């Protein structure tokens, strides 16, 4: 290598092939720069009834996102009672002690918000986004159905038919969907919690009695089996006061355990 060119490379700090790193370079690697989520403000509280509350204030825009995650999914179902977790994704909008059928949607949408729910093998969640000055409304709606969901024969029959039609449209009427369900069954074999689909079996839904539906709610929808998350334009102290007001008197109940081992 040309001597003058070599000196130029050294002056510019260009590493040379075969050059050994200095002792400082051989030390521990530098910590990676903090990511955007590392500084995310998060505050966690737990009520006496076991409800876990996670808050993350963000005053960027005057909105608030509320979500309730219940630690129940299709994995918690037993043979002959499949589809119950997903059924409740529908039942939870059928009214409660102080909210009529369909009024949950009306309350939220009339204030410019939106809402929905989803079901997986491991959890069921319900959520709404509202203007931040409607935080109390969102918490009241969630607390009322956690406390006093209207599980009536009429509501059950109505939503049972809705879910069965959903299964026909989304699975039975779509090419390859039944084969996808079969692949899942083959993958998990006799391990029922994950071998069956969240939508449930048609025969199980047709034969399910109302008492079994009520029992499922009583077992898996108490406050001590839920996480309430609130993010957006909130004051944590004021928010916790509202949470205690609406959720604090809901009684905790014994929740069946789940053993993940086959």
Active-site residues, by number, are: 89
Rounded Cα distance, 219 and 241, in Å: 27
| Residue entry with tokens 């074999």 | 189
Burial label for 104, CB within 10 Å (0-12, 13-18, 19+), is buried
Cα dihedral 242→248→253→255 (10° resolution): 30
CA dihedral 215, 223, 97, 122 (to 10 degrees): -60
What SS3 string covers 95-157? Answer: CECCCCCCHHHHHHHCCCCEEEEEECCCCEEEEEEEEHHHHHHHHHHHHHHHHHECCCHHHHH
CA-closest candidate to residue 84, choices 39, 121, 132: 121
Q: Are strands 43-46 and 63-70 parallel, antiparallel or unpaired?
A: unpaired
Structure token pair of residue 120: 């997986």
Instruction: Work out the angle between the directed axes of helices 153-167 and 210-220 (0-180°, nearest 10).
Output: 90
CA distance 216 to 213: 5
- Cβ–Cβ under 8 Å, residues 53 and 225: no
Coil, strand or helix at 114: strand
């Amino acid at each position: 290598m040309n001597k003058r060119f070599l000196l130029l490379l050294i002056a510019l700090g260009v590493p040379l092939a075969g050059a050994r790193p200095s002792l400082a370079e051989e030390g521990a690697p530098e910590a990676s720069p903090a990511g955007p989520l590392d500084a995310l403000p998060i505050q966690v509280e737990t009520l006496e009834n076991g409800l876990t509350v996670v808050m993350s204030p963000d005053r960027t825009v005057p909105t608030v996102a509320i979500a309730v995650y219940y630690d129940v999914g299709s994995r918690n179902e037993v043979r002959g009672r499949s589809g119950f977790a997903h059924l409740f994704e529908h039942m939870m909008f059928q009214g409660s002690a102080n909210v009529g059928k369909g009024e949950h949607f009306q309350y939220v949408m009339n204030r410019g918000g939106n809402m929905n729910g989803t079901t997986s093998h491991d959890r069921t969640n319900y959520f709404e986004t509202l203007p931040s000055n409607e935080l109390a409304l969102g918490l009241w709606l969630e607390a009322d159905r956690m406390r006093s969901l209207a599980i009536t024969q009429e509501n059950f029959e109505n939503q049972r038919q809705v879910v069965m039609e959903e299964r026909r449209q989304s699975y039975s009427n779509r090419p390859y969907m039944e084969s996808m369900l079969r692949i899942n069954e083959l993958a998990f074999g006799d391990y029922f919690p994950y071998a069956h689909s969240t939508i449930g079996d048609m025969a199980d839904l047709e034969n399910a009695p109302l008492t079994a539906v009520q029992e499922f709610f009583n077992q898996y929808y108490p406050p001590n089996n839920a996480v309430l998350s609130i993010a957006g334009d909130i004051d944590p102290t004021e928010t916790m006061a509202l949470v205690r007001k609406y959720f604090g008197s809901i009684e905790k109940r014994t929740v069946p355990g789940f053993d993940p081992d086959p």
